[in-house]
């Protein structure tokens, strides 16, 4: 019996339009550049226009197609207006909800202001984008939504009360949207990474542990049983699979990408 062959077109997104929020740096930039390399037309929603333009330049230099829109995902009006501008030009096939912020603190030490700030970006921001795009996808025969969650949403992480709250909500929203829109050919999944080495991590170490950056980096790396942090490109590779036609049987799933943190921890 012949073994099954993987098509050379596997994991391609040729001609598909993908909206990536927070695509100006870190995981978002890796997803945007990976999708573009796979043939997608990338539209970046980003608060920081210079970061977004840098991602577009990287894609353009690799002969890809990308453009950026300045948008604050916490503003429903801005999200609707920005996405309507995109819809008037083209059909959107993929939404990657990636824009997010972190916060350090327990339930006692987290201020109301910080709690609400995390909620606005990490929860309301995802809701705003999904609410604005679901009708468009339904009317055009379907689509794919991928939400960036975190192991913090399903595992107890010390001093991450507000962040864990927000990522738990992301997982729940993913399940809900997957259930409500499965009959409209709209798939919705999420990825839950453990620590990923991004510029955010480096900035956090510089600000919080000056002079001890290497020591703390190694400690944080060892928190994953595999012995290191993840890389943005590794998250992007899983994102590409989940948004490709090869994942057409997958919806309502939360994928740990965590170096064994969830199941091997202890």
- The residue extents of the domains of the chain are 17-195+232-264
- The pLDDT of 218-245, averaged and rounded, is 96
State the DSSP string of 66-97.
Answer: EEEEE--TT-HHHHHHHHHHHHTT----EEEE
Sign of CA dihedral 36, 177, 187, 232: positive
Residue located via tokens 């819809």: 87
125-139 and 161-181 helices cross at what angle (nearest 10)? 10
Q: Is residue 193 within 8 Å of 233, Cβ to Cβ?
A: no
Helix (H, G, I), strand (E, B) or coil at 135: helix
Helix (H, G, I), strand (E, B) or coil at 181: helix
- Quote the percentage of the chain above a pLDDT of 70: 96
Condensed to tens digits (0 to 9), the pLDDT of residues 83-138 reads 999 999 999 999 999 999 999 999 999 999 999 999 999 999 999 999 999 999 99
232-243 and 26-37 helices cross at what angle (nearest 10)? 50
Structure tokens at 72: 């604050």
Arithmetic mean of pLDDT over the chain = 95
Q: Is residue 37 within 8 Å of 12, Cβ to Cβ?
A: no
Q: Would you state the pLDDT for residue 7?
A: 58
Q: How much is the pTM?
A: 0.94
Condensed to tens digits (0 to 9), the pLDDT of residues 21-75 reads 999 999 999 999 999 999 999 999 999 999 999 999 999 999 999 999 999 999 9
- The pLDDT of 224-231, averaged and rounded, is 95
Neighbours of 212 (CB within 10 A): 11
Q: Is residue 24 within 8 Å of 54, Cβ to Cβ?
A: yes
Q: Which of 10, 66, 11 is nearest to 41 (CA)?
A: 66
Q: Would you state the pLDDT for residue 2?
A: 52
CA 41 – CA 6 distance, rounded (Å): 24
- The pLDDT of 172-183, averaged and rounded, is 98
Q: Which letter does DSSP use for residue 145 in this model?
A: E
Residue located via tokens 């202001």: 113
- Quote the percentage of the chain above a pLDDT of 90: 90
Contacts of 235 by beta carbon, 8 Å cutoff, 6+ apart:
27, 30, 31, 148, 191, 193, 196, 257
Structure tokens at 215: 């020591």
If pLDDT is split at 50, 70 and 90, which confidence band does 1 have? very low
Specify the CATH number for 17-195+232-264; select among 1.10.10.410, 3.40.50.720, 3.40.50.300, 3.30.360.10.
3.40.50.720
Neighbours of 244 (CB within 10 A): 20
If pLDDT is split at 50, 70 and 90, which confidence band does 199 have? confident
Q: Which of 133, 96, 18, 95 is nearest to 64 (CA)?
A: 18
Which residues are marked as active site?
A: 163
Pick the more confident residue, 3 or 88.
Answer: 88
């Amino acid at each position: 019996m012949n073994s099954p062959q993987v098509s050379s077109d596997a994991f391609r997104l040729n001609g598909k339009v993908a909206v990536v929020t927070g695509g100006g740096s870190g995981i978002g930039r890796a997803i945007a550049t990976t999708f573009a390399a796979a043939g997608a037309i990338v539209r970046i929603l980003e608060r920081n226009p210079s970061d977004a333009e840098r991602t577009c330049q990287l894609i353009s230099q690799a002969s890809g197609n990308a453009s950026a829109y300045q948008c604050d995902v916490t503003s429903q009006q801005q999200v609707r207006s920005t996405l309507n501008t995109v819809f008037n030009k083209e059909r959107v096939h993929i939404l990657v909800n990636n824009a997010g912020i972190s916060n350090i603190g327990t339930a006692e030490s987290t201020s109301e202001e910080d709690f609400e700030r995390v909620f606005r970006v990490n929860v309301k921001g995802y809701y705003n984008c999904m609410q604005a795009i679901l009708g468009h996808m339904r009317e055009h025969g379907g689509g794919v939504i991928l939400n960036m969650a975190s192991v913090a949403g399903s595992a107890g992480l010390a001093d991450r009360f507000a962040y864990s709250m927000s990522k738990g909500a992301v997982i729940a929203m993913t399940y809900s949207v997957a259930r409500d829109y499965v009959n409209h050919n709209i798939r919705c999944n999420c990825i839950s990474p453990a620590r990923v080495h991004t510029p955010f991590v480096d900035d956090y170490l510089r600000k919080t542990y000056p002079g001890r950056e290497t020591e703390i980096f190694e400690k944080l790396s060892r928190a994953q049983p595999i012995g290191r942090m993840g890389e943005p490109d590794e998250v992007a590779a899983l994102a590409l699979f989940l948004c490709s036609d090869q994942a057409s049987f997958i919806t309502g799933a939360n994928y740990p990408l965590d170096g064994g943190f969830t199941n091997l921890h202890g």
